[in-house]
Amino acid sequence: DSGVTQTPKHLITATGQRVTLRCSPRSGDLSVYWYQQSLDQGLQFLIQYYNGEERAKGNILERFSAQQFPDLHSELNLSSLELGDSALYFCASSGGGSAGELFFGEGSRLTVL
């Protein structure tokens, strides 16, 4: 158990819909990272937050947004969903702002029909 909690574990929705994925980092960790894993794209970095502030951004689509709240939990919002958004979305946390060892949650599997 990494200590990182992600909900929901599975989500099935339709194209055009909006979903919110939630992540609770390990106790004491200030950084949260979001990754998307799909068969054809591998593990893609989306965005990182450190203590509530956006620190780094990857190839995150404009339809996607994220935030980290004062209690350090984070949410990833995916809107106007397309079939190609079907993937495993991982949240990871670490103690510091730089990319040291990351602790991954079990992921949220999103299926867009």
Task: Write out the DSSP string of the chain.
Answer: --S-EEE-SEEEE-TT--EEEEEEPPTT--EEEEEEEETTTEEEEEEEEETTEEEEE-S--TTEEEEE-TTS-EEEEE-S--GGG-EEEEEEEESSSS----EE---EEEEE-
CB 19 to another protein: min, Å = 19
70 binds another protein, rule: CB under 8 A: no
89 binds another protein, rule: CB under 8 A: no
Q: Which of 24, 90, 93, 112 binds another protein (CB under 8 A)?
A: 90
CB 12 to another protein: min, Å = 16
Determine the Cα–Cα distance for residues 26 and 3; give it in Å rounded to an integer.
Answer: 5
Q: Which is nearer to another protein, 15 or 109 (CB)?
A: 109
CB 75 to another protein: min, Å = 18
99 binds another protein, rule: CB under 8 A: yes
Q: Which residues bind another protein (CB under 8 A)?
A: 2, 4, 33, 35, 42-43, 45, 48, 50, 55-56, 58, 88, 90, 92, 97-107, 109
